[in-house]
Amino acid sequence: MISDITLGQYFPAKSPMHRTDPRMKICLTVFAIVLIFVARNFLSLAVSVLFIGVGMACSKIPLKLYLKSLKPILFIIVFTAVLNIFYGSGDPLVQLGWLKITLSGILNSVFVSIRIVTLILASSVLTFTTSPTQLTDAIERLLRPLAKLHVPVHEFAMMMTIALRFVPTLLEETDKIMSAQKARGADMESGGIVQRIKALVPVLIPLFVSAFRRAYDLATAMESRCYHGGEGRTKMKILKFGHTDWVVLVFAVLALGLFITANILIPPVL
């Protein structure tokens, strides 16, 4: 399960999404998330899915990697879908005591499930096609107006990017520790919930020790290279909008127009 988590991983490739300015990709990700949550019916939600699907296709990342990113939250998707089935109105199709399954409940369940899936996929497109360095530069540039209010923008962007970058590293470390403990005879799969939680203690303690050691080593390395924050720093690669960014922007505007039209003309599902 741990090896299936792809959060924070970057996959280098030569694709239109990789060439897109990281600032544009962050704004488009926020734009897609807003569309997902504002969608009121299946047609407007389909516009959001199409928008994200085009981004996935343009990223040239294999579909199995996107499906892999959904695997860790599969339980949440199924649990949410089952829960929403019983929150519908109208004549029941199936009556289970005080629980009833209606057509409205089924539609709600499908609608919410698609929302969660597309939300994860939208985030995956950003992390799969944007390197940590690009994310740092983009976040810093987008938050630059806050620097006038004495907000440490560069340090904030650096902390966010380092945290995201070390997610795969910590997951890999967790997998190694669990394999080592199992080789020593630790049983982490049998017993009840309480026993399984207790079995994780020999994993969590060395994991925390390793995480603090990595943080200390990283801080020492940055200090030895005379890192003092963003003041006076220059950029080797200056972020500039290109032809790809303007094409993406035009496509986003067209998608927004279709979305607003579908959201207004068709009655809501929820």
Q: Is residue 206 part of a domain?
A: no
Q: Is residue 46 part of a domain?
A: yes
Q: Tell me: the pLDDT tens digits for 147-166?
A: 788 778 877 777 877 777 77
Q: Tell me: the pLDDT tens digits for 66-76?
A: 888 888 788 88
Domain that holds residue 29: 2-130+240-265
Q: What letters, b where the CB count within 10 A reaches 16 and e where it falls short, cover 95-123?
A: eeeeebbbebbebbbbbbbbbbbbbbbbb
Backbone angles phi, psi at 101, to 5 degrees: -110, 120
Q: Tell me: the pLDDT tens digits for 30-53?
A: 999 999 989 888 999 999 999 999
Q: Is residue 142 part of a domain?
A: no
Specify the number of domains making up the chain. 1
Q: Is residue 28 part of a domain?
A: yes
